[in-house]
């Protein structure tokens, strides 16, 4: 009897959040005998604390190749990933390429696949900010429109895709694979000692992260956000600094000023368990990251989004996330409004709807991929 050929799947990732989004799927795929699975790292993120630490913490296997693309302009980075990845896909000939999220690695992976007529599965499809000046919005829109399988984290994302004319048979509302990870890693988060190490008191500090070009590369916005931190002296800020952010803060001479402030703890980028622990125990999280907004929601901590818009608009409608942009005054007002909302969020988490599914998203992605064969 002829043996059915195993489905050959290649997952392409390269940036910090993509590792988290893919982790559970990688574990499931590696265990599944119906799948031949290859992981390719583009090397978009290369510092230990931007990449390898997550492989170690989440016990992920090494990639079969690291394209070592490193940093560069958007065009250069995307093009270099494409050129280097094409060599591998031509040699390996996968049946399907999976791309998570919305980074330059996502788009490059999708373009290489589509040019070789390899079907694409997009994880976290349908997220929209409707702001085409964000590189991520361009990356995810183009990727969605090249994809054969679109895995959406929320009902709103599904709606966005239908509005753009994407065939409903290609859309699978799986829930959010990042939620799978949060649930799975909670026991390890519980044991993490970062709160003690940093000398923090639970529910009294604010955690802040910024890395988006509109906040970091625009010196006016960067000054405006950091001004709000410096002025809010009655709350401790914990500020893990993304490498891109550190570079810009130094350029505008604000980095040393932040270091001088005793209520601001400037620290290096954190591992996964550490950041989740800090989110869970914060009084409020201020961020421009899409992932951290969701993690704050899952861990029942009030969030202030340092952007004018968000892909996770449902959390704003539920009043657990406030949009403050980069405006000093708005940020300070939002922080001062947190008390009551943060308290409600902690006391009544069960009343929050399961916007992002039940934590089985990666299994659903895998099932849909296997059926696609
Ligand atoms: C990228 C993604 C963004 C994602 C973010 C998570 C794009 C367009 N953006 O943004 O969607 O939310 O990752 O972090 O793909 N750098 C280092 N070490 C590293 C990586 C970067 O020092 O390991 C520095 C370099 O100076 C680099 C800068 O950070 O120029 C920006 O890195 P890049 O990969 O271009 O984008 P991110 O800002 O990390």
Which of these, 336, 212, 200, 271, lies nearest to 51 by C-alpha position?
A: 271
Give pLDDT, residue 349: 65
Determine the Cα–Cα distance for residues 224 and 327; give it in Å rounded to an integer: 6
Residue nearest to atom 13 of ligand 1 (CA): 15
Residue 119 CB less than 6 A away from ligand 1: no
Give pLDDT, residue 1: 46
Is residue 164 domain-shared with residue 18, that is, in the same domain?
yes
Residue nearest to atom 4 of ligand 1 (CA): 103
Residue 136 CB less than 6 A away from ligand 1: yes
Residue nearest to atom 15 of ligand 1 (CA): 103
Residue 214 CB less than 6 A away from ligand 1: no
Residue 337 CB less than 6 A away from ligand 1: no
Which of these, 27, 32, 24, lies nearest to 8 by C-alpha position?
A: 32
Is residue 288 domain-shared with residue 155, that is, in the same domain?
no
Give pLDDT, residue 352: 86
Tokens of 106: 């996502």
Is residue 99 domain-shared with residue 218, that is, in the same domain?
no
Closest approach atom of ligand 1 to CA 212: 38
Closest approach atom of ligand 1 to CA 105: 15
Give the domain CATH number at 141: 3.40.50.2000
Residue 72 CB less than 6 A away from ligand 1: no
- Point out the residues that are catalytic: 211
| Domain that includes residue 86, residue range | 7-176+358-371
Q: Digits of tens for pLDDT over the chain (373 positions)?
A: 444 689 999 999 999 999 999 999 999 999 999 999 999 999 999 999 999 999 999 999 999 999 999 999 999 999 999 999 999 999 999 999 999 999 999 999 999 999 999 999 999 999 999 999 999 999 999 999 999 999 999 999 999 999 999 999 999 999 999 999 999 999 999 999 999 999 999 999 999 999 999 999 999 999 999 999 999 999 999 999 999 999 999 999 999 999 999 999 999 999 999 999 999 999 999 999 999 999 999 999 999 999 999 999 999 999 999 999 999 999 999 999 987 555 556 656 667 899 999 999 999 999 999 998 6
Give pLDDT, residue 291: 97
- Which of the 8 DSSP states describes residue 61? P
| Residue 1 within any structural domain of the chain | no
Residue nearest to atom 21 of ligand 1 (CA): 45
Residue 78 CB less than 6 A away from ligand 1: no
- Which of the 8 DSSP states describes residue 169? G
What are the phi and psi torsion angles at 8 (to 5°)?
Answer: -95, 110
CA distances from 180 to 34, 98, 106, 264, 278 (A): 22, 18, 21, 32, 19
Q: Given ligand 1 and candidates 140, 211, 307, which is best to mutate, with the most ligand atoms within 8 Å of its CB? A: 211
Is residue 255 domain-shared with residue 334, that is, in the same domain?
yes
Is residue 149 domain-shared with residue 198, that is, in the same domain?
no
How many structural domains is the chain composed of? 2
| Residue 2 within any structural domain of the chain | no
Is residue 229 domain-shared with residue 292, that is, in the same domain?
yes
Is residue 346 domain-shared with residue 363, that is, in the same domain?
no
Residue nearest to atom 16 of ligand 1 (CA): 243
């Amino acid at each position: 009897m002829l043996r059915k050929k195993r489905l050959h799947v290649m997952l392409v990732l390269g940036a910090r959040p993509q590792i988290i989004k893919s982790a559970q799927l990688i574990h499931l795929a590696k265990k599944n005998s119906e799948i031949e699975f290859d992981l390719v790292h583009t090397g978009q993120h290369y510092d230990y604390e931007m990449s390898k630490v997550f492989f170690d913490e989440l016990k992920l296997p090494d990639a079969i190749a690291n394209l070592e693309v490193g940093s560069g302009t958007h065009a250069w980075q995307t093009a270099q990933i494409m050129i280097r990845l094409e060599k591998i896909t031509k040699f390996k000939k996968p049946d399907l390429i999976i791309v998570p999220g919305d980074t330059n690695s996502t788009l490059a992976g999708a373009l290489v696949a589509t040019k070789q007529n390899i079907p694409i599965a997009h994880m976290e499809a349908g997220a929209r900010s409707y702001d085409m000046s964000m590189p991520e919005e361009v990356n995810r829109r183009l990727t969605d429109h090249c994809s054969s399988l679109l895995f959406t984290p929320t009902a709103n994302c599904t709606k966005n895709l239908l509005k753009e004319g994407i065939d409903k048979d290609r859309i699978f509302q799986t829930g959010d694979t990042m939620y799978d990870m949060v649930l799975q890693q909670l026991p390890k988060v519980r044991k993490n000692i970062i709160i003690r190490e940093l000398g923090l008191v639970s529910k009294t500090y604010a955690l802040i992260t910024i890395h988006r070009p509109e906040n970091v590369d625009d010196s006016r916005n960067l000054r405006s956000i950091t001004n709000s931190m410096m002025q809010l002296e009655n709350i401790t800020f914990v500020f893990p600094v993304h490498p891109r952010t550190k570079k810009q803060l130094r350029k505008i001479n604000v980095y040393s000023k932040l270091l001088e402030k005793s209520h601001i703890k400037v620290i290096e980028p954190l591992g996964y368990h550490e950041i989740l622990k800090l989110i869970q125990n914060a009084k409020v999280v201020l961020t421009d990251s899409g992932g951290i907004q969701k993690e704050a929601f899952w861990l029942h901590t009030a969030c202030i989004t340092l952007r004018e818009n968000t892909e996770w608009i449902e959390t704003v409608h539920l009043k657990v996330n406030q949009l403050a942009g980069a405006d000093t005054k708005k940020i300070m007002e939002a922080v001062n409004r947190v008390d009551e909302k943060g308290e409600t969020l902690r006391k009544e988490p069960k009343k929050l709807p399961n916007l992002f599914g039940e934590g089985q998203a990666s299994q659903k992605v895998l099932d849909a991929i296997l059926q696609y064969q």
